[in-house]
Amino acid sequence: MAFELKSSAFGYGEPIPRRYTCDGEDISPPLEWTDPPAGTVSFALIMDDPDAPMGTWDHWVLFDIPADVRSLPEGVPPDAAPPQGGRHGKNSWRRLGYGGPCPPGGTHRYFFRLYALDTTLDLPSGATKGDVLAAMEGHILAQAELMGTYSR
């Protein structure tokens, strides 16, 4: 069975509801995923916008999510170590936690990528997406993706 990432708030390629953007409450959407491959020790989640005018914008970096977790609720708090487990990295605003879609104009795509890893990452809270991607190298067992759009 394929490793899949979904949200009850929007489907793949659909608009992300305003509630989860800077024009709304700016809280993270609910996410859920299927069982990962055997040997999964942790998950890492990265949400970014490749359509940002100054290059890819990182909206959410969360890593070391425990292997037994299968969902994240709406509104994950921006704590260094949120209650669901894991550690928050820094987004492109240089803050911990989720920062919702906030394009300067037009329609942008937002990719949520969940990685099943065969290890935990030896990184502190506040690590950047680059730090997380480098630490994951050679440890990715599977990847699931959800893409939503937002227009202003």
DSSP string, 109-144: EEEEEEEEESS-----TT--HHHHHHHHTT-EEEEE
Ranges of each domain in the chain: 5-151
Per CATH, is 5-151 categorized as 3.90.280.10?
yes
Exposure letters 37-65 (e unless 16+ CB within 10 A, then b): eeebbbbbbbbbbeebeeeebbbbbbbbb
- Model pLDDT for residues 78-136, shown as the tens digit of each residue: 999 999 899 999 999 999 999 999 999 999 999 999 999 999 998 999 999 999 999 99
- Model pLDDT for residues 37-72, shown as the tens digit of each residue: 999 999 999 999 999 999 999 999 999 999 999 999
Q: pTM of the predicted model, to two decimals?
A: 0.97
